[in-house]
Copies of this chain bind each other. A is one copy, B any other.
Amino acid sequence: MSLDVFMKNNKNLVDQKLQEYLPNKSEYPTAIHEAMHYSVFAGGKRLRPLLTLAAGDLFGANKKTILPFACAIELIHTYSLIHDDLPALDNDDLRRGKSTNHVVFGEDIAILAGDALLNYAFELMTSKGVENFTDARTPLWAISEVAKASGTKGMIGGQVVDIKSEKNADIDLETVSYIHKHKTGALFTASIRIGAILSQASQADLEKLTTYAQKLGLAFQVVDDILDIEGDEQKLGKTVGKDDDNEKATYPKIMGLKESHEYASRLHHEALTAISDYGEEANILRELANKIVNREK
């Protein structure tokens, strides 16, 4: 299967399942359900769920067992964007070319919609996520991985250091690296790890996929920083140069633009090396890595 077909089919499947799993927009109280739907269906590429499904495919998993988790990861990603965009945090009015949640629904509902998506991710995993497992320890392990990746030693930790590093002219590479490994990298890595865990992959396979995920997650973020400088406003659907205005820590700012490109290439190569033992069955993961590193938005 070509990557394009894989992405198209699985993105459609994820979109369809997200519609199915989420409480209907018309359910009382409608304000919160409308706000949740608005951001979940605001044009996300579903990259994290696609990675979960690709990792599952590598080990021959039944998609039905993986989908609630793949969707839960997307809900957590979406909640983090809603809260990141709030006036008290990044104060962004625009995301993927659309008004952010608090602009449309108000700050109060946006805060609660973020809370609700985080909460619902766990509701989904602990209900629909366990139906297809005879031993409940497997889904529990996956849920625990997701919780750790989203917490203060993962994504939230990255958000906190990011906030605390703003307006700090002396920010060093170690701090930038911490921010990215945690803010983006942790959930990125968990997306891939749970695909392997839920497929009962061996410890050796899990380690390979973890290295692939960590390298790719970091590459994703380095490219994001580069695109923020080089990108075209229209393609990205957000204000280009915003990171710099905010005095956010970025790789190009610390190590230079040329060196950032080289770093992204090295990480890309290391991600591919980590899964080089696999044959054709890992081609989707390889092509996903290529696409992520070579993307233009």
* A interface residues, Cβ below 8 angstroms from B: 23, 27-29, 31-33, 36, 79, 83, 86, 88-89, 106-109, 111-112, 114-116, 118-120, 122-123, 126-127, 130, 135-137, 139-140, 143-144, 147-148, 150-153, 156-157, 159-161, 163-164
Which residue of chain B has its CB nearest to the CB of A107?
B88
A160's partner among B112, B147, B164 (CB-CB below 8 A) is: B112
A-B contact pairs, 8 of them (CB 8 A): A23-B152, A32-B152, A32-B157, A116-B152, A116-B156, A119-B151, A122-B147, A139-B140
Residues A111 and B126 in contact in the complex (CB < 8 Å), given A116-B152, A116-B156:
no
Assembly CA distance A151 to B117 (angstroms): 9
Q: What residues of chain B lie closer than 8 Å to A160, measured between beta carbons?
A: 29, 31-32, 109, 112
Q: What residues of chain B lie closer than 8 Å to A28, measured between beta carbons?
A: 157
Assembly CA distance A140 to B123 (angstroms): 10
Assembly CA distance A295 to B226 (angstroms): 60
A126's partner among B23, B127, B140 (CB-CB below 8 A) is: B140
Query: A104 to nearest B CB, angstroms?
Result: 14
Judging by beta carbons under 8 Å apart, are A152 and B86 in contact? Answer: no
Which residue of chain B has its CB nearest to the CB of A158?
B29
Assembly CA distance A144 to B139 (angstroms): 13
Assembly CA distance A130 to B281 (angstroms): 35
Query: A163 to nearest B CB, angstroms?
Result: 5
Assembly CA distance A163 to B86 (angstroms): 18
Assembly CA distance A123 to B130 (angstroms): 17
Judging by beta carbons under 8 Å apart, are B153 and A127 in contact? Answer: no
Q: What residues of chain B lie closer than 8 Å to A150, measured between beta carbons?
A: 119
Assembly CA distance A150 to B108 (angstroms): 17
